[in-house]
Chain A
Amino acid sequence: MICCGLILLWLTLIPALFRRSALFTTMLCLASVCLAFGFGRVLFSSAPQICHLQLATLPLAIQFEVDALAAFFGCLFALGFPLGMLYGHFYLKAHPGEGAGSHLFWLGIMMISMFLVLLLRHILLFLLAWELMSLASFFAILFDRNNRQTRSNALYYFVMMHLGAAVLLCGFALLYLNTGSFSFRNLVFAGLAKWLLIIGFAFKAGFFPFYSWLPKAHPVAPSHLSGLMSGLMIKTGIFGIILVLFRSEWQAIELYILLAVSLITAFNGVIHALTETNLKRCLAYSSIENIGLIGVGLCFWQLGILFANPLMSALGLAGALLHTLFHSTFKPLLFYLSGNILLATHSLEIDSLGGLHKNLNYTSKLFLLGSLSISALPMFSGFISEFSILGAILLGFNSHSLASTLCSVVTGGVFAFVSALVLIAFTKLYSIVFSGEARSEAASKAKEHPLGLLLSPAILALLSLVLGLFGKLGLAFVSPLCITLGISQSQLVGLGGLLRGISLILVLLLLVSVILFLLKSRLVKHSRHSTWACGYFKGSPKLQYTGMAYINPLAYFLKPLLHSPKLHQEVQGYFPRELNYREELFDYLDKGLIASLCRWLGKFYGLFSGIQNGKTNSYITYLLLALLALLFWVLGVPR
C-alpha cells in the first residue's frame, strides 16, 4: 500500500512538469489516501513492516522500514499534504507566477523526500533524502523569484539547512566509524554522535540557537508552502529527535541541558511572536515556541524514564506527540489564512490591516478558531496537549532530588508564563488584523475569497475544534506510538479517562454558552450605534490601538530581551509638514550573532581575495612558483 502510494507520488511529477495543477492535486490526494491507509494500518496494528527494493543496476538494496514512529509522522504528512495542496492549487490560481511549473515539481519532490526521510534507515540514503528535502523546499520557496528579498531569504534558508546537514553528516559518520554499519535500524546512539545528531535535527526543527531560518523563510514562501513547511516539514526534525532520544541513554544533566534549550526556545519564540508586526513572521516565531513546548514534553518523557516515574514519562510523551499533531493542524490553518489576507489586501503588516471581519467574514472566523487553538484555551486543541505536558511537569515537583524539583518548578513557571504570552500574542494578532475599523484603503476594500481558498482551512479548523472537544480522539491516534516507545497501556488508559471527563465538561460548556447566547439574542432587542468615543463623534480608524500599543505594558518588562531601534526625524519648525517614524524588531541571534559571524568570515576570506585578481601575469607567476616548488620537492625527496 505504501509502495503504491509512493509510486503514485512519483507519477504526480509528470503533471507538475506540464503545469497541470489540478491533475497534480488530484493525484496527490489519491497517493495520500494510499499512504494514509498504509501508514494507518502499520500504526494501529503496531507490527513494523519492512519492504526490500533491489535495484538491478545498483549494488545496493534499498530497505524501507515502516515502524510505528515513521507511521505516525507518515499519517500526519499524508493528511496534511492534500489539504495543503488543495489550498495551494487555488492560491496559485489567484496568485499566478511564472515559475508555477517548477514550483509544483519541487513541491512534489519535497513531499516524496519527506516520506523517504521517514522510511529510510540506511545512513547514506537517509542523508540523500534529507538533502533532497532541503533542496526541493529551497527551490519551491523561490516561487516569487523576481523579488530580491525572496532570493536572499531563500539562500539564507539553504545555507542554514546545509549547516544542519553538515552536523548531521558528522554525527552519522561518527556512528558509522563506531559500528561499521550503514544501517541504523537497531543501533544505540551514544557519545558524541547522539549530540551531533540532535543538533543536526534541531536545525530542522528550529530549536534555540538554530531557529533563525524560520522567520526568514516563511514570510517569503507562498502561503501554502509556509503552511506545509511550518506545520509538517519541521516535524521531520522532531521525528529525528524522538528517534535519537529513544535509541540512546541519557544522563539527568544532559536532559536538563535539553530542557533548558527547549524552554529558551519557547520563551524566545513567544516574545518575538508578541512583538513582531509582520503576520507571517509572527506565525513563524510562534512555530518556534511550539517546537519548544514539544521539546519540553520530550524531555519530561526521558526524565520520567530516568527517575522511574512511568506516569510522568507517559504524560510527557503523550503531550509532546499530541502537540505535534495539533500543531500540524492549527499552524497550517493560520498560514493558509494569512495567505488569504495577503491575497485580499496585498499586505502582511498587521498595523496596516484591521476591520477585516466585515469583508473577510469566513476567513476571520476560521482565524479566530486557529488563534484560540494555539493559545491553549479549553474547547480548542492546544489545551489538551498542554494539559498533558503540564501534568508531567507537576509530577516532577515532588521528586527526591533537589535538581529535578527545581527544574520542574522553573519549567512550570516558564511554561505558564509562555502560555499566557501566547494568549496575549494571538489576541493581539486577531484583534489588530480583524477587529475594529480598517486602517488602510486596501484593508477596507478587501473581498472574501471563493470557496476553494476556504475549504482546506475550514477542514483544519473543524479538525482543531473536534480534537479540542474530544481529546480522547487525539490520544487514540498517538497511543500506539506511545506504546511502541515504551509507555505502558495502563497510564494511557488513565489519561484517556481524564480526557473523556474533560470533553464531557467542555461539550456541556459549549452547549450552555450557545443556549445562553441564543436565548439572549432571541429575547433582547438591540440597536446599533457608533462606538463611544468620550463624547467625540466617530473617531478615525487611525485612533485605534495598534499592535505595539497593545503589548506596551509588557514590552516594558521585555525591553532587555528585545531591542527595537527607532528611526525618527527630528521635529523641525513650528508647523512640521511630515514626520517619519520607523520601528524594527531586532533579533539578537540573527542580527547580532549570525550577522557578525558572517561579517567576520567575509573579512577572513577577503584576505585571500587578492589571489584571484584576473591578471594573466600574476597567474603565470603562480604557475612558475608552483613549478619551482614542485622542482624543489622532487629534488629534495631522498631516493
Chain B
Amino acid sequence: MILNLFFMLVIPLLFVGIINKTKAIWAGRKGPSLLQPLFTFLKLLHKQEIHSLSSGHIFRWAPSLALTAVFFAALFVPFGSRQACFGFKGDFFLVMSLLALAKAVLVLAAMDTGSSFEGMGASREISFTAFLEPAFLLIIGSLAYAGGLERIGQLFYRHTVNIYNEWSVIIAVMTALALFIMLLVEGARVPFDDPATHLELTMIHEVMVLDTSGPNLALVHYASALKMQIYASLISYFLIPEGMGTLGITLVFLLGSFSLAVLAGLVESLMPRFRISRNLELVIIPLSVALLVLAALIVHNMGGF
C-alpha cells in the first residue's frame, strides 16, 4: 500500500522526464535532467494564478477535482506491489468513469474561458473518449473472458506472457499494443498530439490548458502524467509471472514502466504527428485491436482453432 502510494507520487513525473531525455538523446542533445518535470512542477506551485475574466467557478476547482479523480483511479491500479490499494470485482468501470470525470471537468474548464483555441482542444480531447471507452471496456472484457471478472490489477497480473503458450502471447501483446496507443492518446503524445509544438491550432491537450496557470497548471500536468503511468503500469503487469516475490514485482514494474517511457520517447522521435483531422480515425485502432483479441478468444473457446 505504502509502496503503491510512494510510486504513484514519484514515478509519473519521472516518466515524462525519461520520455524527454530519450527524445533529446535521439536528437543528439544532452537534454534536461530527468527530474526537470518535477522541478517545473514545484516551481509552478509557487507561482500565482491568472484567471480568465470570462471564466467562472468551474475554472477554479476543475484542476483539483481532475487530479483527485485521476489519483483515486490510480489507487485501483497496482504500482509496484502485488495488490492495488483498493479493489473490487468490476472496479474497472469506476476507474474508467473516474478518468472520464477528470477529462470532463477539464474540458468544462477549458470551455469556461470562452477561447476558441481552448474550445478546439476540448472538442478534440473529448472526442477521443468516444472510442477509448469502448476499447477499454473490451480489453477488460477479453481479459475477463479468459479468467473471470476480477479486480483490475488482478486481471493484468494473472495474465503473464509465457512464450510456451501462444494464447498468452496473443492476448498480452495485442492488449499491450492497444493500451500503449491509449497511453499515447491520453497522455497527449506524438503521433496524436505534440506537447512541444508552437502553434495552438495543432495542439490538443496543451491548448486545452492554455489559460491554466500556476498551481492549477501543475495539478493538470501531474494528473496527465499519472494517467499515462496508469496505462504504463497496467501494461508492465503483463510481464510479471505469478508467484513472484514483492521485490521482483517492484523491479519488473519499474523496468517495464521505464522501458515504456523510452519506447514512447522513441515513437516521438521517429514518427511525425498525424494530421489532426484524421486523428480520430487512428484512435479507433485500440478499439479494433481489442475487438480482434476478444473475437479470437471467443472463437478459440468455442472450439474454432
Contacts and interface: CB of A to CB of B under 8 A. Distances in A.
B56 A420 contact: no
B90 interface: yes
A530 B144 CA distance: 50
Contact of B119 (A397, A405, A549): A549
Nearest to A376: B97
B104 A423 contact: yes
Contacts of A398: 144-145, 148
Interface string B36-60: 0000000000001111111111101
A262 interface: no
Given A394-B144, A427-B104, A528 B119 contact: no
Contact of A524 (B49, B89, B107, B280): B49
Given A357-B57, A394-B90, A419 B133 contact: yes
The listed residue with most A CB atoms (<10 A of its CB), out of B112, B138, B291, is: B112
B246 interface: no
Contacts of A355: 54, 114
A550 B119 contact: yes
A246 B28 CA distance: 71
Contacts of B49: 524-527
A409 B291 CA distance: 9
Nearest to B47: A524
A574 to B, nearest CB: 27
B274 interface: no
A528 B144 contact: no
Interface residues of A, number: 81
B116 interface: yes
Interface in B111-156: 111-120, 122-124, 126-127, 129-134, 136-138, 140-141, 144-145, 148-149
B56 A357 contact: yes
B67 interface: yes
A157 interface: no
Interface in A364-385: 364-365, 368, 372, 375-379, 383
Contacts of A435: 54-56, 58, 108, 111-114
B68 A421 contact: no
Contact of A528 (B52, B134, B215): B52
Contacts of B138: 409, 412-413, 416
Contact of B291 (A413, A534, A550): A413
B137 A413 contact: yes
Nearest to B142: A397
A417 B68 contact: no
Interface stretch (A7-15, A515-523, A561-569): A515-523
B232 to A, nearest CB: 22
Contacts, number: 241
B141 A545 contact: no
B214 interface: yes
A505 B91 CA distance: 11
Contact of B137 (A412, A520, A525, A529): A412
Contacts of B176: none
Given A409-B294, A424-B126, A554-B280, A533 B145 contact: no
A435 B106 CA distance: 13
B101 interface: yes
B107 A427 contact: yes
Contacts of A187: none
A420 B101 contact: no
A453 to B, nearest CB: 20
A247 interface: no
B94 A406 contact: no
A358 B133 contact: no
Given A430-B108, A505-B94, A531-B211, A520 B64 contact: yes
A386 B67 CA distance: 24
B251 to A, nearest CB: 30
Contacts of A629: none
Contacts of A376: 97
Interface string A544-582: 110001111110110000000000000000000000000
A378 B97 contact: yes
A421 B132 CA distance: 11
Given A378-B97, A553-B280, A424 B58 contact: no
Contact of A525 (B48, B64, B124, B126): B48
22 contacts: A368-B58, A376-B97, A390-B90, A390-B93, A405-B298, A409-B141, A413-B138, A416-B138, A417-B133, A417-B134, A419-B133, A420-B132, A436-B54, A501-B88, A505-B94, A526-B50, A527-B50, A531-B118, A531-B211, A545-B111, A545-B116, A557-B280
The 3 lowest CB-CB distance pairs between A and B, nearest first, are: A545-B119, A436-B114, A431-B111
Given A378-B97, A427-B111, 17 more contacts: A378-B69, A383-B97, A390-B93, A412-B134, A412-B138, A421-B130, A431-B122, A436-B112, A437-B54, A509-B98, A524-B214, A525-B48, A527-B49, A528-B53, A530-B54, A531-B52, A545-B116
Interface of A: 354-355, 357-358, 364-365, 368, 372, 375-379, 383, 386-387, 390-391, 394-395, 397-398, 402, 405-406, 409, 412-417, 419-421, 423-424, 427, 430-432, 434-437, 498, 501-502, 505, 508-509, 512-513, 516-517, 520-521, 524-534, 539, 541, 543-545, 549-554, 556-557
Interface of B: 48-58, 60-61, 64-65, 67-69, 71-72, 86, 88-90, 93-94, 96-98, 100-101, 104, 107-108, 111-120, 122-124, 126-127, 129-134, 136-138, 140-141, 144-145, 148-149, 200, 210-211, 214-216, 277, 279-280, 287, 291, 294, 298, 302
